[in-house]
């Protein structure tokens, strides 16, 4: 079975279940390894309910440590999902130095101050040029990679979440962003949460994974669970999709270094 590297905790304000409850579920499924990657603090106004506060980081670290002690038979990693926003690069850099994370997932959830992946803000797709949204989104993904701050690119094609697709082809935009990911030595988060969204697809798509495979970009797996019942959800489909893309190996991280393992 695969490792699930994208688990949230209630500290972000929109997930339920203790870390121990996620670990119990992982054990039931026979996962060899899990990693928490809760939403990192950001220096934004009104971020309540989206992420932990800066002062809660030690509490997050302690919660993962407690969980690790309670489940000695399960490898439990201490990760974090940190946003990329051009105004907060220094803030994130400082934050990442403050704790010994096993890995850092970098995600683009904002285009300027538009939280485009939030259900309550998705309506803006209706009044924007969708191709321009994709141009901006993939531009930010490349900028994220170029900072060199992150290990894993979270849900690479998140911009498709609500099913808005431009009529123009986006392969060149994706390719440019993938090249930045490859240059940075980052892995892609093969994220099954898209199966639970209007788009009903894994992030990234098969086509993107094929291109990534050709560029020798590594992968990890994540359910993006915000509740214990979502741990490992859709991993059978994720495994089939990465195999179809030509992948034979995946990565595991510890201390911000990775090793590459054979897929099960």
What is the number of the residue whose Cβ is closest to Zn ion? 224
Q: Of 4 and 224, which CB lies nearer to Zn ion in the complex structure?
A: 224
Residue 6 CB, shortest distance to Fe ion, in Å, is 5
Residue 156 CB, shortest distance to Zn ion, in Å, is 11
What is the number of the residue whose Cβ is closest to Fe ion? 107
Burial class from Cβ neighbours inside 10 Å (0-12, 13-18, 19+) for residue 140 reads buried
Count interface residues toward Fe ion (CB under 5 A): 4
Contact call for residues 6 and 105 (beta carbons, < 8 A): yes
Which residues are CB-contacts of 180 (< 8 A; sequence separation ≥ 6)? 141, 142, 143, 144, 145, 146
Residue 73 CB, shortest distance to Zn ion, in Å, is 27
Residue 248 CB, shortest distance to Fe ion, in Å, is 26
Instruction: Please list the alpha-helical segments (H only) found in the chain.
Output: 19-29, 57-70, 89-97, 130-147, 171-183, 206-214, 235-244
Residues in 206-245 that interact with Fe ion by CB under 5 A = 224
Binding mask 143-182 for Zn ion (x = CB under 5 A): -----------x----------------------------
Residues in 220-249 that interact with Zn ion by CB under 5 A = 224
For the chain, how many residues are written?
A: 264
Binding residues (CB under 5 A) for Fe ion: these are 81, 107, 154, 224
């Amino acid at each position: 079975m695969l490792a699930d590297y994208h688990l949230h905790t209630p500290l972000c304000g929109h997930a339920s279940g203790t870390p121990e409850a996620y670990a119990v579920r992982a054990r039931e499924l026979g996962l060899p390894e899990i990693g928490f990657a809760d939403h990192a603090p950001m220096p934004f106004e009104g971020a309540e309910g989206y992420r932990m506060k800066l002062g809660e980081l030690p509490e997050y670290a302690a919660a993962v440590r407690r969980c690790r002690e309670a489940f000695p038979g399960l490898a439990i990693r201490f990760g974090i999902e940190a946003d990329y926003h051009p105004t907060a690069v220094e803030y994130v850099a400082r934050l990442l130095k403050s704790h010994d994370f096993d890995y850092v997932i970098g995600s683009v959830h904002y285009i300027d101050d538009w939280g485009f992946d939030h259900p309550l803000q998705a309506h803006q797709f209706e009044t924007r040029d969708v191709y321009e949204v994709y141009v901006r989104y993939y531009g930010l993904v490349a900028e994220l990679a170029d900072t060199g701050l992150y290990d894993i690119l979270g849900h690479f094609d998140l911009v498709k979440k609500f099913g808005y697709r431009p009529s123009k082809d986006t392969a060149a935009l994706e390719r440019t962003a993938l090249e930045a990911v490859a240059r940075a030595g980052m892995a892609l988060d093969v994220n099954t949460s898209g199966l639970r969204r209007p788009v009903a697809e894994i992030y990234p798509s098969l086509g993107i994974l094929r291109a990534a495979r050709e560029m020798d970009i590594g992968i990890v797996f994540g359910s993006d669970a915000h509740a214990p019942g979502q741990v490992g959800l859709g991993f059978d489909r994720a495994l089939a999709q990465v195999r179809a893309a030509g992948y034979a190996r995946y990565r595991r991280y510890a201390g911000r270094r990775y090793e590459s393992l054979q897929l099960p």
